[in-house]
Amino acid sequence: MINENIVREIIRNTRFKFLIGRGEYFGSEAERKVYDTLFEAGLEWLYSYVLGKPKPKVVYCNNLHFLRKAKNKMDIHLHHTVVADALRDAIMLRPDEYLAFKKDNNFDKLIETEFNTPFLCMEGIRFDLFDTISVMLYQWEKSSFNLAGFLREVMVYTVYKSTHHYDAYSKNIDENFVIDEESLLHARNLCNAEVFHMFFGEDVVYALRYPYYQSSWRTKMTTLTNGSGGESSFNTLRPRFYWPYGPKIYASDTQLLPNWIFDEYMQEGYFRKIMDINDFDIRDGIVAMIRIDKGDRALYDFICREVGDECLAAYYYLWLTDSKAKRDDVFLNAIVGLLAKGEGDRKLVDFIEAGFGKEEIVEYYMRYFKIEKVWELFA
């Protein structure tokens, strides 16, 4: 096993070779053009030498409006899995030997730690943020490829290539590694630019720039910092990611969120949509957002307006905010069913005692549904 401290230094030096995570991504428009030129060179390599196709025209895009016109003019043969496999085949000359080297010198956990740890002037790299958006983009158009996501693979290949080079040098043996250095350089040029995602038209590639990130309205996602921001849309009521003039993408750390959660915030019919959500994590997030933004009393009043009954509102409020009420969901649902039918108090208590025999349920009923002014409970 190669010394871990040596590998750690190799990882840090590798990070300096890539733009992602450096804070300010581009210093000037002239600098951007330099990297655009490298990107186009990498794209020509991808088409000519990997895919066996003529070099396409490149159109740089700051939003996804082009999809409206180009949707039916995509190259159906360039599915993102096909492109990914072709790139890996070009970079890894002998995959079995590469995997064998990784097995003997497995530094994946160290790589993950170092990528996510601030180092000198560089911030940690939030590769996890790529996944949420790339999944969405692939759903919209499968004839595309997420360069930001593949960038991580290119960085990992670079680390293992340098590690093997050091190992061969220290043992004074000829280096004959399984990573093709020229292909790796082309792949780096392709991914190491301000192009987040490529869409493959029949004779054109639409190069989508990076979106803006929640940490600041002026911060491009290319900064991807661990510490400055990273709040979910639940906490901010603003889109987690966006491109100028759309689309806006609302998301938590782990998943996309429906736009209506924020676009229709507390409007008529909003409560019914909350209750129709099958994902309890999203439902809990919405409730927590309302409580933080408006307060508990406003949440109760909002539910009361939506359902038109204080008893039902009290039930739903408790069900959404009280873990004990959630554990007794089956019993409370039966109670609400009777309340909705206008059953009398005595009949309701008899039903609870006869049907379930749970004293704690009776206590819930007496405590929450018997009082005249429901809100006194929360005062």
Domain boundaries, the chain: 4-223, 295-378
Q: DSSP letter at 197?
A: E
Mean pLDDT for the stretch of residues 73-91: 91
Query: What is the amino acid identity at position 292?
Result: I
Which secondary structure element, helix H or strand E, spans residue 63, and what is its range? none
Are 114 and 125 spatial neighbours (Cβ–Cβ below 8 Å)? no
pLDDT at 327: 45
- The pair of structure tokens assigned to 73 is 């003019």
Tell me: the pLDDT tens digits for 121-140?
455 566 666 777 888 888 88
Task: Quote the CA–CA distance of 203 and 201 in Å, as a whole number.
Answer: 6
Q: Is the pTM of this model over 0.75?
A: no
- Who wins on pLDDT, 197 or 329? 197
Are 276 and 168 spatial neighbours (Cβ–Cβ below 8 Å)? no
pLDDT at 338: 56
pLDDT at 139: 82
Tell me: the pLDDT tens digits for 286-339?
888 898 888 888 998 898 888 877 766 777 787 788 765 554 554 556 555 555
